[in-house]
């Protein structure tokens, strides 16, 4: 990977601006670099721009997952009515399982 220290720092600051927390920014940075290194068949002309786009997409994916989780947590009775989802919800979140079956 041919990226300068300055570009690396800029990418980290971009991830920090997205995530707001240093640990979350590091996760985004790691995910973007990991995907860049895995993209061996793809020709990447501007690695910094490519990794910024990946970091942004990872951030949006995390945001959607957290919002989806909040919606389910707010209304456990609605989650129960969705049948097939209950198995996933109860195995992934034991606290929700106990709330539903109390």
Q: Render pLDDT for 21-38 as a digit per residue (tens, 0 to 9).
A: 999 999 999 999 999 888
Long-range contacts formed by 26-32: CB under 8 A, 24+ apart? 28/55, 28/58, 28/59, 29/55, 31/55, 31/58, 32/58
DSSP string, 41-54: TS--S-HHHHHHHH
Residue the block writes with tokens 């109860």: 90
DSSP annotation of 101 reads T
Mean pLDDT for the stretch of residues 46-65: 93
Which pLDDT score is estimated for 78? 52
Which pLDDT score is estimated for 93? 52
């Amino acid at each position: 990977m041919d990226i300068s220290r300055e570009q690396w720092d800029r990418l980290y600051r971009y991830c920090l601006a997205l995530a707001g927390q240093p640990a979350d920014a590091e996760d985004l940075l790691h995910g973007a670099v990991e995907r860049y290194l895995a993209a061996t068949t793809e020709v990447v002309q501007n690695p910094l721009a490519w990794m910024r786009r990946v970091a942004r997409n990872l951030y949006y994916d995390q945001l959607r997952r957290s919002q989806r989780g909040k919606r389910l947590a707010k209304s456990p009775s609605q989650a129960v009515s969705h049948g097939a989802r209950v198995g996933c919800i109860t195995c992934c979140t034991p606290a929700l399982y106990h709330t539903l079956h109390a």
